[in-house]
Amino acid sequence: MTCLLQKAKVLLAFKSYIIYQVSYIIYQVSYIIYQLRTMDNQNNKLATILSRYPKEESSLIMVLQDIQEEYRYLPQEVLVQTAEALGIAQAKIFGVATFFKAFSLKRRGEKVIQVCTGTACHVRGSRLILEKFERETGIKAGETSGDLKYTLEGVNCVGACALGPVVVVNEEMQGNFTMQKTGKVLGKSRSKDDE
Ligand code: FES
């Protein structure tokens, strides 16, 4: 009887092991399919961008601008493919991508919110506005939210000091910004602090 019980236990453990292995294989296959689809999608997007310009070094900035617009950042693997397509060294592409502030190598949110923290905006309360955005989004300046909805940044003078405090949302400048406007930027009718 004890022997039968032991055999049953071993069989049960073996069954669980097989189920675990099969689930793991299914997960791996699904992941590979997902990766292949993503790569294919990326290749198509890049091919479309590259088709707009001559395949030469002088097209680099325009191609990078289009990649940034398409992905909202410059994915590393796309830059490597771009280097090959334009016949440029990868080091050069990464050099250009990191030199210009308009380009980002980090994934960014759907809404990029930049609060000017330059002197003129600072004295008009931009720090409080930035802190309010931090509270409302749950992220700190320099971070992107986990759901990729928001990227929040504190930036240096954006050149419109007379309109301070200035907030730039997806490259659209909003002058004379007030604390009450944060909710609207975030797509909320009211923000927590306004209640
Ligand atoms: S300090 Fe904010 S625009 Fe100049």
- Please name the amino acid found at residue 17: Y
Is the CB of residue 120 below 6 angstroms from any atom belonging to ligand 1? Answer: yes
Q: Say if residues 74 and 97 touch (Cβ distance below 8 Å).
A: yes
The answer to whether residues 169 and 118 belong to one domain is yes
Is the CB of residue 166 below 6 angstroms from any atom belonging to ligand 1? Answer: yes
The answer to whether residues 79 and 120 belong to one domain is no
State the DSSP H helix or E strand holding residue 110, giving kind and residue range, or none if neither: none
Is the CB of residue 158 below 6 angstroms from any atom belonging to ligand 1? Answer: yes
Is the CB of residue 116 below 6 angstroms from any atom belonging to ligand 1? Answer: yes
For the chain, percent of residues with pLDDT exceeding 70? 91
Q: Is the pTM of this model over 0.75?
A: no
The answer to whether residues 95 and 138 belong to one domain is no
The answer to whether residues 116 and 178 belong to one domain is yes
Pocket-testing residue among 156, 166, 173, ligand 1, by greatest number of atoms within 8 A of Cβ: 166
- Of the candidates 138, 137, 133, 135, the one whose C-alpha atom is nearest the C-alpha of residue 155 is 133
**Which of these three, 44, 71, 99, is where a domain ends?**
99
Distance (Å, rounded) from C-alpha 107 to C-alpha 7? 53
Q: What is the CATH number of the domain that holds 136?
A: 3.40.30.10
In a domain, 106, yes or no: no
The answer to whether residues 115 and 63 belong to one domain is no
Mean per-residue pLDDT over the chain, rounded: 88
Is the CB of residue 176 below 6 angstroms from any atom belonging to ligand 1? Answer: no
In a domain, 104, yes or no: no
Enclosing domain of residue 183: 111-189
pLDDT at 191 over 60: no
173-188 pLDDT per residue, tens: 999 999 999 999 998 7
Q: Say if residues 150 and 186 touch (Cβ distance below 8 Å).
A: yes
In a domain, 53, yes or no: yes
**Which of these three, 65, 99, 133, is where a domain ends?**
99
The answer to whether residues 63 and 126 belong to one domain is no
In a domain, 118, yes or no: yes
Is residue 20 very low, low, confident or very high in pLDDT (cuts 50, 70, 90)?
Answer: confident
Contacts of 84 (CB under 8 A, 6+ apart): none
| Tokens representing residue 12 in the block | 């049960």
Query: If you measure from the C-alpha of residue 114 to the centroid of ligand 1, how many angstroms do you get, rounded to a whole number?
Result: 12
Query: If you measure from the C-alpha of residue 161 to the centroid of ligand 1, how many angstroms do you get, rounded to a whole number?
Result: 4
Place of tokens 């009450």: 180
Is the CB of residue 64 below 6 angstroms from any atom belonging to ligand 1? Answer: no
Distance (Å, rounded) from C-alpha 93 to C-alpha 97? 6
pLDDT value, residue 40: 67
The answer to whether residues 77 and 23 belong to one domain is yes
**Which of these three, 34, 67, 99, is where a domain ends?**
99
In a domain, 47, yes or no: yes
For the chain, percent of residues with pLDDT exceeding 90? 62
In a domain, 15, yes or no: yes
In a domain, 86, yes or no: yes
Distance (Å, rounded) from C-alpha 81 to C-alpha 45? 12
| Tokens representing residue 35 in the block | 């990766």
pLDDT value, residue 193: 56
Is the CB of residue 168 below 6 angstroms from any atom belonging to ligand 1? Answer: no
The answer to whether residues 22 and 67 belong to one domain is yes
pLDDT value, residue 79: 94
In a domain, 105, yes or no: no
Number of CB atoms found within 10 A of residue 86's CB: 19
Is the CB of residue 115 below 6 angstroms from any atom belonging to ligand 1? Answer: no
Number of domains forming the structure of the chain = 2
pLDDT value, residue 8: 82
Nearest CA to ligand 1 atom 1: 118
The answer to whether residues 73 and 123 belong to one domain is no
